[in-house]
Amino acid sequence: MSSHFTVVYDACVLYPAPLRDLLMHLALSDLYRARWSDLIHDEWTRNVLTNRNDLNSDQLNRTRQLMNANVRDSLVAGFEYLIPSIELPDPDDRHVVAAAIHSGASLIVTFTGERIRDKIAASKRKGMWMGGVPPLGYDVVNRQLIVNEAEAAIVRRIFNEMLTNGSTTQIAAALTAEGFTTKAWVTRSGQMRSGARIDKKFLYKLLRNRVYLGEISHKGNWHPGVHAAIIDKGLWGQVHEILASDGHTRSVETKARSRTDALLRGLLYAPSGERMYPTYSNKNGRKYRYYFSKSEARFGAESKTYARLPADEVEAATLAQIKNVLSSPESVTGVCRFIRKNGAAVREDMAVMAMRQLGNVWEQLYPAEQHRIVNLMIERVDIVPGGLKVKWRELGWKDLIEEFAPDSIGAELVETEAA
């Protein structure tokens, strides 16, 4: 015999699957008459879809259809006229109260939203992962983010290449060409979710995600997490200085660095801090290359702040410093110490052997390869009284050392090219 005691299920108690299953079991036992509305269905299914990327609307629609079909007279309709006359602290709750009044319900099965929100907030303040698609570089184990080393290497590569490259377009294209994707993961129900193609939007989101600093977000605030950081604060700060710059400026600089007609294009600076640009002139059938200041490039020779420099001489002086470093174990050791000081690990013996390998074949490398390596090693070259001051790119050095270490692919390539 069916009970005349009527209750309305609020959307919040239908949201968690285990609680929904329990309430459905009780509804089918005829201990009371359970009621809900399409608006209540809409609310809980919408929230589930927002927070559970592993589920889709077809699955949830199937669930609501089964609920309606198996619980007698469960669906409340025709109550909408009551909603405007109901006053509540949260206007979004009025439809639930209206459904309860219209169906003659004795009570509404719900729980205090503030308790749930506070519980979630407290868990996040403790650094716990509270659901959703895990970020690339981590897996979820017992509500904690655990570093996935293979994916973490991709994340570190993206941050490092943002320093040496600066182009999310080129980074995305390279990662896609190598077959890398966004996070692929297994849901709690055991379903496999494949990764998608990496694009600029994904990269910008990744580069701004403080989860990689070991933090957890809740309502716009970041709290220390219990998971390990993948990116150190030094690298994070350097990348975000780049991200803070104008996108058009970064694009122009990236295109400039990609051209190989001048070894120091985009790297050479006058004593005033102005960038020096490559140019050339033809005289008696001979080509003469120079670097000239930005002010001269923009406003003409009468506005120049520094004299033109013969390109061959300034490039030769820079290459002399590079060759000195490549051939000097003491210099490589100094670079290694500088790299370690900035938070990266590198073996000095491996570095010395790698740079010696590269130094032996430097003259045989194609200009494009020399240009790539120079941009990897050097952040900028400043003209100072009496010569040049080279600012090395420490993270680029780390990549270069690993690339040309003995038995590496890079070492084999330079040996082949020099043969």
Longest CA span, the chain: 110
Exposure class string for 279-313: b at 16+ Cβ within 10 A, else e: eeeeeeeeeebbbbbbbbeeeeeeebebebbebee
Give the pLDDT confidence score for residue 50 in this predicted structure: 80
3-class secondary-structure state, position 250? helix
CATH number attached to the domain at 134-249? 3.90.1750.20
Give the pLDDT confidence score for residue 1 in this predicted structure: 43
Q: What is the pLDDT of residues 197-228, one digit of tens each?
A: 899 889 999 999 999 999 887 666 787 888 89
CA distances in angstroms from 405 to 19, 174, 323, 336, 346, listed in the order given: 58, 22, 17, 14, 11
Give 276-289 as a DSSP string.
EEEEEEEETTEEEE
DSSP state, 262?
S
- Residue 268 makes CB contacts below 8 A (sequence gap 6+) with 275, 276, 291, 314, 380, 381, 383
Count the Cβ atoms, other than its own, within 10 Å of residue 229: 16
Rounded to 5°, the CA angle 383-388-393 comes to 100
Domain boundaries, the chain: 6-111, 134-249, 259-418
Going by C-alpha positions, the residue among 8, 1, 228, 249 that lies closest to residue 105 is: 8
Give the pLDDT confidence score for residue 357 in this predicted structure: 67
Q: What is the pLDDT of residues 78-100, one digit of tens each?
A: 999 888 888 877 788 889 888 98
Q: 6-111: which CATH topology?
A: Rossmann fold (3.40.50)
> What distance in Å separates the CA atoms of residue 312 and residue 117, rounded to the nearest whole number?
66
> What distance in Å separates the CA atoms of residue 232 and residue 212, rounded to the nearest whole number?
8
Helix 348-360 vs helix 329-341: crossing angle, to nearest 10: 130
Exposure class string for 30-61: b at 16+ Cβ within 10 A, else e: eebbbbbbebbbebbbeebeeebebbeeeebe
Q: Looking at beta carbons, which pairs linking 387-390 to residues 24 or more positions away fall under 8 Å?
A: 387/317, 388/314, 388/317, 388/318, 388/321, 390/318, 390/321
- Residue 103 makes CB contacts below 8 A (sequence gap 6+) with 6, 8, 35, 76, 79
Exposure class string for 340-372: b at 16+ Cβ within 10 A, else e: eeeebebebebbbbbbbbbbebbeebeeebbbb
> Is residue 167 within 8 Å of 242, Cβ to Cβ?
no
- Residue 286 makes CB contacts below 8 A (sequence gap 6+) with none
3-class secondary-structure state, position 1? coil
Rounded to 5°, the CA angle 29-35-38 comes to 135
Helix 168-177 vs helix 149-164: crossing angle, to nearest 10: 140
Give 320-351 as a DSSP string.
HHHHHHHH-HHHHHHHHHHHHHTT----HHHH
What are 66's two structure tokens?
């089964």
3-class secondary-structure state, position 83? helix
Give the pLDDT confidence score for residue 338 in this predicted structure: 59
Task: Please identify every stretch of the chain with a pLDDT value under 50, giving residue numbers as ranges.
Answer: 1, 114-116, 119-120, 256, 405-419
CA distances in angstroms from 33 to 23, 68, 386, listed in the order given: 11, 13, 92
Upper half-sphere CA count for residue 372 (Cβ side, 13 Å): 10
